[in-house]
Amino acid sequence: MQTVKVRLRKPGRVLSFLNPDIPLQRDEPCVVRSDRGLEFGTCVLPPEPCPPELEQRIKMNVIRKLNYHDEGTYRQILAEEKKAMDLCGQKMRDRKLPMRLVDVEYSMDKRKVVFYFTAEDRVDFRELVRDLAHDLKTRIELRHIQVRDAAKMIGGIGTCGRELCCTTWLQDFMPISMKMAKRQNLSLNPTKISGQCGRLMCCISYENEMYVTEKKVRGAAPAELTEEIEVPVKPVDTGVSTQDLFRLKLEADAATARAREKDQRPDDAPAKAPITTTAIADEPDTGDEEFDEAEGEETAATPDRGPAQQGAAPNANREGQRRPRRRRRGRRNRPGGGQGGGQQGGGQPAS
């Protein structure tokens, strides 16, 4: 068993058929049996050997070459399709249906007629089907197709000067977007990049993958372009314990933090004075004077204060600093000074 590629008459699909040893040449007409019944076709690829796995999947086969009787039937079908198209167009105009008739297809046995049309919205064509079935005396089928499929069935010449790709060899339509045109630095004018169907041309997608790959290579980092080779590394015994390594790591982190703090500090900023603590020996409480613990403040034990002590208060709290105790002790021995101090400390006045 062999396989052969055959292009059907309408809508121009290329399918694989089983060939039971029928000698077919390229561009030779034939009759095939498809999922819709007997149809006319044209051989696109000559027969070639078929593996058993593929033979089980293909259900369609070639019946025979086109003979003299089939040629007469073919010419008669073409004439009937022209009459049916004129009749359908007249019925559509009479009923004012928003439809555009594209093509008409008769089956080989003339038992079914398919009308292909395009429309922007849904159309109620039930009355049209009744009229066509009454006049043609056969089974009627109306099929709504898209504008790209309509251009494929009609055919034409593209802006490149060649026949449309969808009519000659293109089988499936790929989604086309303006992003593809921007990537290829094409004109963004829709009239220049649109095809006969009014949509973006299918040829925009032919080189799109090359532009995407080149952009990725240019934007990639040098490390991404080089191949990474993994080299096995054997552990080396250094004789240092884990605790010593952890201690060294802490010391290194502390040194790094000090260096970072030194770099962030401005040059004109004064250095912080070291904080020193001075131990003062406890002295026996004589009961002569009593000072508050707050820096630069003196608290009297009694509200009654002597003249000498009132004069010494501003000097004792000058600029918020405590005056030395040695000087205070010297003032207690002055004449007349002990009276105020004795009264403040709770001692006996001098006789």
320 near 295, Cβ under 8 Å?
Answer: yes
Write down how long the chain is. Answer: 351
User: Is cis: bond before 46, omega within 30 of 0?
Assistant: no
H/E stretch holding 115 reads strand 112-118
Residue 332 is encoded by which pair of tokens?
Answer: 């207690």
DSSP state of 31: E
128 near 144, Cβ under 8 Å?
Answer: no
Domains of the chain, first to last: 2-66 (no CATH), 73-145 (3.30.300), 151-209 (no CATH)
pLDDT by position in tens, the chain (length 351): 888 999 888 877 888 898 888 888 898 999 999 888 889 999 988 888 888 888 888 889 999 999 999 999 999 999 999 999 999 999 999 999 999 999 999 988 888 999 999 998 888 999 999 999 999 999 999 999 999 999 998 889 998 999 999 888 888 888 999 999 999 989 889 889 999 899 999 999 998 888 876 555 555 555 454 454 454 545 555 566 777 777 888 888 888 888 888 777 665 555 555 454 444 444 444 444 444 444 444 444 444 444 444 444 444 445 445 555 555 554 555 555 444 444 444 444 443
pLDDT digits (tens, 9 = 90+) for 279-296: 444 444 444 444 444 444
Task: Compute the half-sphere exposure of residue 248: CA atoms within 13 Å on the CB side of its CA.
Answer: 6
Q: Please work out, in degrees rounded to the nearest 5, the angle formed at the alpha carbon of residue 288 by the alpha carbons of 282 and 292.
A: 65
| Gyration radius of the chain over CA positions | 53
Distant-in-sequence, close-in-space partners of 232: CB < 8 Å, separation ≥ 6 = none
H/E stretch holding 135 reads helix 126-136
User: Which strand ranges, in their side-by-side order, compose the sheet holding 100-106?
Assistant: 100-106, 112-118, 139-144
DSSP state of 200: B
pLDDT digits (tens, 9 = 90+) for 271-330: 555 454 444 444 444 444 444 444 444 444 444 444 444 444 444 445 445 555 555 554
Max CA pair span of the chain? 162
